[in-house]
Structures are given as structure tokens and as C-alpha cells.
Structure 1
Amino acid sequence: MNACNELIVMTRDDAAEAVKRYPVAVLPLGATEQHGHHLPIGVDIFLAEALSRRVCEQTGAILLPSVPFGYSWVWRDIPGTVSLQQHHVEAVIKDVAHSVSRYGTKLLVIINGHDANNTSMKYAARELEDELDMKVVYLFYPNMSGIVEKYCDSELWHGMIHACEFETSLMLAVKPEYVQMGKAVREYPDKPNLYGKSTISLGDLSRSGVYGDATLATKEKGELMLRLFVEEMSQLVDEAYRETIGN
């Protein structure tokens, strides 16, 4: 296992050497929004950072500073939420990519902790394909549905994760000091017929901010799932890098 190469603590000489040694950069992409009464507002940041750090330790990639804001429109009226417009998230990703490509980075890996950022990642990567000679890979909990089905005891709310057993378990593994399990609840709100076809949003449906059963979360489940995600992500990074240098 490699030590984590954190760009934020490097000198310019350290950065130049790290890029020369393994020209792969990992960008943690998070969000600042509510996650029920039992989890901190920074869940998506903490989880993206934890996954990214472990992937960098496994692969030798450079860990970029995290993007702490994402597209969080559905929670915009709840105190603590900070939301960027979707095209702004895309623009931030593209600016980061253009920046790191200028000094020799060959592969940018985006590790996302927030579902609503996925569209921005996809379209940013597509545009960058035509703009840069650098590959971009974007990852969001690969094989999540299978892992949740196997290792979690509760069902997801219509396939979505938010402050549920899944995220709470991961947080117990990553930042247990910020989890208040005494406030964890189970809530499966009704899904209106117009949900997904109108401006009805998650913020309109749940009283607690939880979608699923957070009471069943454990640190052991979180550690197991975290390890599986890191293994899969690390393999994908190595595969993408081999394809990049092979071109």
C-alpha cells in the first residue's frame, strides 16, 4: 500500500515529482446539505474524502482537495445547505481538469459522494473528451445496489440513498464521532405520482430528512462496504490508467 499523496500539503517540487511518478489525480466531490437529525451536514464530503484517500493509498494517485459543494437544490430551504447550480458544478469539474492537465496529469478520477452531482460529472467528462488529451473517469459507489442488497438489512427508498442505513453505516466507519445514533429514525415517505415529473422534491416528502432505515446501521457494515468500494474503485483506476498509457 502506498502512502497517500495529498496535493494540499505538497510543495511545487513534491507535486512535480508526484505527477512524474504516477500522473493520476483523484478529486473528491461532495455536497453540503442535511442528512437527517443524526448525521452532519458534511456527510457527502466526508465519504467522498474517505473513499478518495483510500483509493490514493492503494494506487499511488494524487489526492486533490475536496469540492465541498454540489447540486443540492432539493434541500435549499433547510439551514446549513449550500447549493451550486448544476452547470456550475460541471464548470468546477472542467476547470479542475484543465488545471491538472497542464502539468502532465494523464488521468483525472472524480469520486463522488452525492447522487445529484452525477449528471454534472457525466456531461463534464463528455465535454472534456473533446477538449483535453487527458482521460476522465467518474465514480459513484460502483455496484452499490448489489452491495446494499447483500450487506444492508433494510431496503432503499426507490433505489435512492440518503441518511439511511447505507450512509449511516459508512459514516460510523469513517467519522463515528459525528454520528448521533440516538436520533436515527426509520422513514419511507410516500412517493407522489408527480415525483420526478415536476418540481416536487425530496425536501417536500420527508419529515426527518431520512429516506430508509438509519436505525439498522452499524460500523461493521460500513467498514465492510467501504473496503469493497475501495477495492473496486482502485481496480477501475488502474484499468483506466493502463488504457491511458497504452494509447
Structure 2
Amino acid sequence: MYIGDETWTDLGDYFEDESLAIVPIGSTEQHGPHLPLGTDALIAEAFAREAAQRTGYLCTPTIDVGVSAHHRQFHGTMWVDAPVFRDYVESLTRNLADHGIDRVVYVNAHGGNVQHLREVGRRLRDDEVLYAIEWMWNDSISDLVDDLFDRTGPHGGPKETALVQHLADELVRDDRLSAARDGGVVDITTNDTIVDGARTYYDAIDNTPNGVVGDQTDATAAKGERLFEAASERLAHLCEWLDAQAFEELMPKPHVD
């Protein structure tokens, strides 16, 4: 169920019977010469809507600008400052609580959002408003990702490329896959950006001249379909698991006597 398609009168039954919502969160940022800036938002929304369709839980609109200042040197990248992002997501989530939602799954497809979504979840839980957790699709099927690709790359690599090929192939510049690989960094572990245990980089461009990592030529729509099906199954299971938990068990434990 997608909230934007419903009327307020129709949603009354949902909020009376259910207490879980799915919130897709992505970014609008460079993904190399071959993928659209909306890659993360597209992926997050696809997973969230699929999980909502499979389970019947409520899916909200997508938050499509996130914490992406580390991609700012590349044309078109959009971002909000981290405190603003956290406050916005928290406010939106408290809005859901006002309608009776007491557990939320943030379907997140952008690594730069992770720590901030965890912080929002902690704030809401500490206030005993609701329980919110962050989910990343590739973390749920890491073994499959490793099986399908030799050099996955943490950003704009073959795993994201394959997913977009499956979800919206018309947005992938297939004629630029080799250029993406050759103009970027195939294996980030070969970069000299960690010195004596210290990370010496802050921005994506410090690691890769064209913004992406991995071997994009290893991506296919068929691989993307396998990724999407496997991760959608894990997300649906997570939602059902969370819904089955007693709210009291999700809240902070009392201080030890």
C-alpha cells in the first residue's frame, strides 16, 4: 500500500489495524558517467514498494536527497547538512507516530545516510515514541553480491548498475560501462588512502576521479533481477518479523539494579 494513492478515509482502517510503515530513503548524487543521479532513490523506492506489495504494509513517499556532500565536486549532486537531514527524518517519523505507527523500517540505499538514520532511530527509541531501524539491501544479501561480482565497488559499481539495469534499463548508459570502469577505480583496496590506520580521505573524488568504484562491465539485468528478488524477500521478512515483536520489548531496557 502506497500512502500517496490512498484517501484519508481509506487509511483509517490501516491505522486501526496496523502499526508499521516503510520509509524509502536514497540520495540525488553522482553515480559515475553511466548511472543517473537518482540511482539510490530509485533503488530504495523499488524495494520499499515491493515489500509493501508483498506484505500489505504502508509505504511512504521517498526521501530522495540525503547526506551527500562528499560527492559535491561532481555536477548535479544535491545534499542537505547532516543535522538538517536527521531533524527532517525524525520529524517525518514523528508524524507517522501521530497516526498510530509505532515501528518503522527505513529502506535506505545510500551509505552516507546510515549513521544518521541510526541516530534518528536512537532518539525516537530513547523517547519511547517508536522503534525505527535502517535497512540496506546489499547488507541483507552480501553473500549473493560476492558470488555474482568479483569487484563490487562500494559506489556506482556493478551491483548498483545491475539493479538499475533491471529496474529502469533505459536510464543506464550501457555504452559508458567500460569508461566508468577505466576512468574510476576497479579495486579501492589498491588506493593509498589509509595511512597507519588513519583514513586520509573525506570526499569521493579523493578516491576515484570519475566518482565510481568497481567493474561496471560485470553488470547485467539478469544479475540485477536476482539481487532484487533476494533482497526483497529479506526485506519482507524483516517487516513481518518487526511487526510480530511486542512493542515493550523494542523499547530501552531499564537500568540495572
TM over 0.5: yes
Secondary structure at 1:170 match in 2: helix
Does the CA-based 8 Å contact 2:118-2:133 persist in structure 1? no
Secondary structure at 2:124 match in 1: helix
User: Structure 1 residue 113 and structure 2 residue 106: aligned?
Assistant: no
Secondary structure at 2:199 match in 1: coil
Alignment partner of 2:81 out of 78, 85, 106: 85
Residue in structure 2 matched with residue 96 of structure 1 by the alignment: 92
CA distance in structure 2 between the aligned counterparts of 1:77 and 1:30, rounded to whole angstroms: 19
CA distance in structure 2 between the aligned counterparts of 1:89 and 1:220, rounded to whole angstroms: 35
Does the CA-based 8 Å contact 2:20-2:243 persist in structure 1? yes
Does the CA-based 8 Å contact 1:98-1:132 persist in structure 2? no
Does the CA-based 8 Å contact 1:25-1:61 persist in structure 2? yes
Aligned length: 239
Alignment partner of 2:41 out of 40, 45, 53: 45
Q: Deviations over 1:136-168 (max 9, x none)?
A: 12101233431211222x2234xxx21111000
Q: Deviations over 1:189-235 (max 9, x none)?
A: 52423596345421223122220011110001001011111111111
Does the CA-based 8 Å contact 1:7-1:62 persist in structure 2? yes
Structure ID, larger Rg: 2
Alignment partner of 1:228 out of 227, 230, 235: 230
Does the CA-based 8 Å contact 1:22-1:60 persist in structure 2? no
Does the CA-based 8 Å contact 1:137-1:240 persist in structure 2? no
CA distance in structure 2 between the aligned counterparts of 1:87 and 1:246, rounded to whole angstroms: 29
Q: TM-score, normalised to structure 1's length?
A: 0.90
Does the CA-based 8 Å contact 1:101-1:134 persist in structure 2? yes
Q: Which stretch shows the higher mean deviation, 188-197 or 207-216? A: 188-197
Does the CA-based 8 Å contact 2:141-2:230 persist in structure 1? no
Higher relative helix content:
2
Alignment partner of 1:55 out of 8, 33, 51: 51
Structure 1 consecutive aligned stretches of length 4 or more whose deviation exceeds 4 Å: none
**Aligned AA for 2:61?**
P
Alignment partner of 1:173 out of 156, 166, 179: 166
Does the CA-based 8 Å contact 1:107-1:135 persist in structure 2? yes
Secondary structure at 1:175 match in 2: helix
Structure 2 runs not aligned, ≥5 long: 250-257
Q: Calculate the aligned-residue CA RMSD, in Å.
A: 1.8
Shift, 1:246, TM fit: 7.7
Residue in structure 2 matched with residue 150 of structure 1 by the alignment: 147
